[in-house]
Amino acid sequence: MDEGQRSVLGDTEMTGERLRAARESVGLSLSTLATRTHFSKSLLGQLETGERRIRAEHVRAYSDALGIGSVLFAEPADGEEAAAEWLQRLAVSDVGGDTLEQLESAVDDLASAYNTTPPGELLVRIRTYLGYVGRLMDSRMTLTQHRRLLVTAGWLSLLASTCHVDLGELSAAAARGHLTWTLADEAGHPEISAWCLETRAWQQLTGGEFEQATKLSRAAQEIAPAGSSAFIQATAQEGRALARLGDSTGTYSALRKVARLVSGLRMPDRPEHHFRYDPAKSDAYVATTLAWLGDPGAESYARHVLADLVGAVTTRPRRIASANLDLGLALVAAGKPDEAADATLTAVTSGRLVPSTYWRVSEVVTGIEGRDAVDAALVRDAFRDIYPARLDGTGRQSRRPYL
């Protein structure tokens, strides 16, 4: 490889292949990257193919646009190696306490915006902060400051992984998950580690791997601090996975355990925060779990959840859409296909569904179809109009799940 194909960032050799891998690992096209930098698409292409020399300003542009600096310049499968490389980047300046506090506050703001912000938009904001945190890792700091920065990076990477799962970008989700796990281990932060496993369990659940989702949920409970939000969420996730497996005994046991955990639990100061368990969330999980189990009580639970959500001061549009899908599935089981179609159509036309939940629409539509083909077609057509097939990170048309 000649000099025109490489650059150096710190002690790390930068090549066109690594730039391309970084871009593709987060699902960006050259055109999109060009809009996020001041460089043209043709120049970026020449950098990635080795036709142009890579300079420091090019690397900084990629870092700012993609996030977390050099760690993304590794193949997603090499998550631990990439994270180790990233964590070794220590140099010469200072990190002030005010900077860390501002970053920690930004994490809370981003996690609180999760329920109301489309995942693709939220990812752009997360990457901006990850890019900043990555550059701060090139600073000299105390051990306490270093751990706080690692924890901040861990939460940001975890939230990014969650957004990738929602978008169906599983390779990017796995890469972020590997990094999150490594950061949490380095920082000695078991709750982030537990959330990492719980997020992976959700991904497996949406992919139909119910036994694996159960195992991951239980593994998350084993390492989560007792009574923590991660522990409660992982317990609820186990109940949902067992419901998909048809294990009614295990499902009801998990639901009772969650009920005990949330009884007397105080409302967090920011209940919309994705990583702080909101006691009101418990009923929504019960509705979903009972609907998946085929329990007749799902209908009343789903109606109760919807009434509370619609009347709440703070709007949670994605949770409302999910509750409508719960109600639709429960109504199918109750032999009310017309009402099921209305509830599902409400969820679809909200525009708040994400790729990781498309399969739930299909499940309800399939149930309606055998009894009311006209209503089933109405929901299916609305879904196809509102959620067109997307392009994946390689420029190919992604599979629009199930419908």
Q: Give residue-wise pLDDT tens across range 289-338.
A: 999 999 999 999 999 989 988 876 567 888 899 999 999 999 999 999 99
Has residue 348 got a pLDDT over 90?
yes
Cα(64)–Cα(68) distance, integer angstroms: 8
Write down the pLDDT at residue 340: 95
Asked which of 63-72, 80-89, 101-110, 141-150 is least confident by mean pLDDT, the reply is: 80-89
Q: What letter would DSSP give residue 71?
A: G
The pLDDT of residue 130 is 86
Which residue stretches of 37-142 are H helix? 41-49, 56-66, 79-87, 97-113, 119-136
Return d(Cα 324, Cα 104) in angstroms, integer: 34
Q: What is the pLDDT of residue 109?
A: 93
> Please, which residues have CB within 8 angstroms of residue 226's CB and are 6 or more apart in sequence?
none
Residue 313: predicted pLDDT: 58
- Please tell me the distance from the alpha carbon of residue 267 to that of residue 252, in angstroms, as a whole number: 24
Q: 397 or 346: whose pLDDT is higher?
A: 346
Please tell me the predicted confidence (pLDDT) of residue 96. 61
Alpha-carbon gap, residue 210 to 322, rounded angstroms = 19
How confident is the model over 245-263, as pLDDT tens digits?
A: 999 999 999 999 999 999 8
Percent of the chain scoring above 90 in pLDDT: 47
Look at residue 395 and tell me whether its pLDDT is greater than 50.
no
Please, what is the average pLDDT of the chain? Answer: 82
pLDDT band of 68, cuts 50, 70, 90: very low
Regarding pTM above 0.95, the answer is no
Distance CA 51, CA 41 (A): 13
Higher model confidence: residue 99 or residue 86? 99
- Under a CB-based contact definition with an 8 Å cutoff, are residues 361 and 321 in contact? no
**Interval 92-99 mean pLDDT:** 58
Mean pLDDT of 110-130: 89
Q: What is the pLDDT of residue 158?
A: 96
Positive or negative torsion for Cα 279, 358, 330, 199: negative
pLDDT of residue 133: 84
The per-residue pLDDT for 69 is 43
